Structure 1
Amino acid sequence: MADIHVALLGFGTVGKGVYETINAHQARLKALLGKNVKVAGILVRNVEKHHLDDDVLLTSNFEDILNLPKLDVVIEAIVGREPGYSYLKKSIERGCHIITANKEMFAYHGNELLEYASRHQVACGFEATVAGGIPAIQTLRTLLNVNKIERIEGIVNGTSNYILTKMREDGVTFQEALQGAQELGYAEADPTNDIEGHDAFYKAMVLSQIAFGEQPEWKTVNRKGISAISHSQIRLFSEWGLRVKHVISLEKGTRGLACSVKPVLVSPSHPLYSVEGVQNAVSIEADIVGNITLQGPGAGKFPTASAIVEDLIQLNTKQVCYFEREQNVRFKKEPYHNWILLSKQTNVFIPDSIEVTGRVPERALFLKAKEKDIERLLVAYPALNIYQLYGQVSPGFLENLSLKESRFKRKAAVPKGV
């Protein structure tokens, strides 16, 4: 009985988690696959820093990995677009199945890799590129085939979610919460990718390709991070029973495929309201099943290793293959959303296309509008703080808010650009 020979590209937190998981679960893997799984080689930057079993090739040269006499699967856990993309293409040419946890690389090159793998009759697994141990990708690809996906919302970056939770629960500033996240290992020394929404953006692009068979034009995506959110805003929203969450949103409408990656306000009625700390969640709206929400650990050594090893099982059953999803998505009319506007400006003119539904004196306006009208308002007043409100508020929530004393003026004619 031949073994399944695996190579790991990268031996950081994720790579070590995969190595330890494979070694610790040999009996289970053999029961599922009918074969033993053997880590035959590992690509590292510095060979001297690592000490493993003598029968595992430890090398800093990728060509040594390709030249292994037996190699069935290559697992890539390297940061950045390169050299991971080039390594995986060469692995496919060698005839190997591939598995990746690299969300940035896969957002850029996923479609190319899947087409290349199909051409060479090998499979590609990428569950670990989105939300760590949560099986969001397998759910979309293999469990919701008859359903048509209408909308996806998700908290897919544990660092940002931890910071926002810490600011609300402990009353600390953004910088204090970030420092705490770095001390616990949740945030990198340079946290830009997490706190400015780049990491979540890449994951949104992967989900978009799976759910809708395409990605939006990247330059049209409203990507905003959390670094500008103040403790005073967090405290104010908490008083109203609302929580700030950094959320990705994907939906197909009359304006095409729309995507946003931004802080929003979430009410208790929304499934993302209770997702706290470093947890991730993906909420899927489909035409038959309705709403389902998957929640769990979105990153870390063993949650990510779990996703990779589960992909290894799927490779053997030929479940991991194409990216494409045939969708006859019904184009919906652009919906009206609820928004909360915070501003100390006194000369903001709200156009007639935006309905003012309530107010908190000297603090906020509650609005109902299409996203395009909010975008136009922000063109005219870029300093405004406007948050979309997810979920429903209680019937009496807005009844106590009066428009009579509003310091915001209204008129039909609005400034240029609104």
Structure 2
Amino acid sequence: MSVIKVAILGFGTVGEGFYRTIQSHSEELTAVLGRKVEVAAVLVKNKQKERNISKDVFITTEFTDILNLPQVDVVVEAIVDKDPTYSFLKQAIQRGCHIITANKEMFAHYGQELLELAKVHNVSVGYEATVAGGIPVIQTLRQLLNVNRVQQIHGILNGTSNFILTEMREKKLSFADALRAAQENGYAEADPTNDVEGFDAFYKAMILSRLAFGEDPNWHDVDRKGITSITSDLIDIALQFGLRFKHIASIKKKGNQLIASVKPVLVGKEHPLYHVEGVQNAVNIYSDIVGQITLQGPGAGMYPTASAVIEDLVYVCQNRRANQGFTSAIESCSIVEKSQEEETWLIKGLLNTLNEQPINVIDQVEEGIWIVKATSEEVAQLTKLNQELVCFPIIGEFESEHDLAKLVV
């Protein structure tokens, strides 16, 4: 029986989880692929570090050593940062290897180039693990795009931020205490900036945008905000209206323009992301035929992410190049909407600032806390007048004790 030789770049959480899964599911892989899968080499930073890797596996600190092996069929990249990982994967493709990556930052920047290069060299690219951990959102979108036209995507794409918001609400913790709990549980890094400021979710959203709509929005136009402005008081106020804070990535078409944001919003009980708690991720997809579907599951961790990588291994070894990449922009669906669409917002700020703008105030929760109806442009103007204002859009139904507002998006 022939053998599929795999090289793993990086042996952290994802790399090790993938290695262990190959060992524990070798019979299943052989049955599906008709060939045995073996790890031929592992790229590490420090060869002296003790690792539980078979002595038959070649361990090296030099990527060129892997390229020079007599047989490497698949290169699995589980490192961080854009470089030198992009260079490694380019060289692997040029050698004729299928590639699999879990690196969302690198793939958001260079995914299109890698897919085009792979097509030239007749190999496949797997990138399921770049978005939402173990949730098969990439494969689902590939299938939907056969006929369905995706119109909108909402997603909770960062488990760390979702965990922090859940802890703040359920345990009445401050942001600092909830962040500390995330770090103690291994959900947040010592420097949590990528998670709590929305960069991690932003990269994932750009990958989903390219796959679903065939293009990225202008990155500088994406409204990216983190969760650091959310306080315990705001969470308690939201609860009075039956609302929960969620950090949501949103992508949709507006006319011929892609509109994307990654920011905290308030969701009502009927919204499919309302009950997504802790480190869970979820992606809600709306398309023209099937309507609305939601995928939910663990967004990180050794084995959930390994699950995505191992499924990609099957995918690339079956060499499904025809449907592996991003759709073309011509195929994407354009949604015609009003240019000045009103939304409902929770705003914390001074009354005199609101009086300076023609904003429809529909409820005053308490001094300095307002429920208003306004366009995003009007809210942006308000924040220019008073940079201390904090504004959060409300998605889904919410409860007002004065029965003044009901909104369904």
Q: What is the DSSP-based 3-state SS (H/G/I as helix, E as strand, rest coil) of the residue aligned with 1:227?
A: coil
| TM norm structure 1 | 0.92
Aligned ranges 1:165-180 → 2 under 5 Å: 165-180=166-181
Q: Distance in 2 between matches of 1:251 and 1:261?
A: 12
Q: Does 1:323 align with 2:308?
A: no
- Could you tell me how far apart the structure 1 residues matched to 2:304 and 2:142 are? 20
Residue equivalent to 1:416? none
Structure 2 unaligned runs (5+)? Answer: none
**RMSD of equivalent CA atoms:** 1.6
Q: Which among 359, 363, 371 is matched to residue 364 of structure 2?
A: 359
> Which of 337, 353, 362 is 1:333 aligned to?
337
Is the contact between residue 354 and residue 382 of structure 2 (CA under 8 Å) also seen in structure 1?
A: no
Matches within 5 A, 1:142-157: 142-157=143-158
> Conserved in 2, the CA contact under 8 Å of 1:357 and 1:398?
no
Are 2:353 and 2:385, in contact at CA under 8 Å, matched by a contact in 1?
no
Distance 2:276 2:196 in 1: 17
Task: Quote the offset at 1:232 in angstroms.
Answer: 1.1
1:9-408 superposed matches below 5 A? 9-49=9-49, 50-254=51-255, 256-319=257-320, 321-325=324-328, 326-334=330-338, 335-349=341-355, 351-352=357-358, 354-394=359-399, 397-399=401-403
The percent identity for this pair of structures is: 52
1:145 positional shift: 2.0
* TM-score, normalised via structure 2 length: 0.94
Could you say what secondary structure the match of 1:268 adopts?
coil
Asked if the contact 2:214/2:332 (under 8 Å) is kept, the reply is no
Structure 1 residue runs of 5 or longer lacking an equivalent are: 402-418
CA distance in 2, matches of 1:313, 1:387: 42
Deviations 1:246-277 (A, max 9, x none): 00000110361011010111110100000000
* CA apart distance, 1:333: 1.3
- 8 Å contact 1:225–1:263 — kept in the other structure? yes
Residue 81 (structure 1) shift = 0.2
Return the letter of the residue paired with 1:43: L
Tell me, in whole angstroms, the C-alpha distance in 2 between the residues paired with 1:66 and 1:228: 47
- Cα separation, 1, equivalents of 2:99 and 2:326: 14
Q: Call closer, same or farther: CA 1:240–1:120 in 2, change over 3 Å.
A: same
1:347 shift after superposition: 3.9
The code of the aligned residue for 2:19 comes to Y
C-alpha distance in 1, partners of 2:397/2:288? 21
Residue 52 of structure 1 and its aligned partner are, at CA, apart by 2.0
Contact 1:85/1:105 (<8 A) preserved:
yes
* AA matched with 1:375: A
3-state SS of paired residue (1:11)? coil
Secondary structure, counterpart of 2:245 in structure 1: strand
* One-letter identity of the residue aligned with 2:242: G
Distance, in Å, in 1 between the alignment partners of 2:123 and 2:65 is 21
Matched to 2:7, the amino acid is: A
One-letter amino acid of the counterpart of residue 377, structure 2: K
Could you say what secondary structure the match of 1:341 adopts? strand
Secondary structure (helix, strand or coil) at the match of 2:48 reads helix
Q: Which moved more, 1:308-317 or 1:98-107?
A: 308-317
Matched residues in 2 for 1:314 and 1:121: separation? 14
**CA positional deviation for 1:72:** 0.3
Distance (Å, rounded) in 2 between the aligned partners of 1:168 and 1:248: 20
Deviations 1:222-267 (A, max 9, x none): 1110112111111221232111110000011036101101011111
- How many residues in Structure 1 have an aligned counterpart in Structure 2? 399
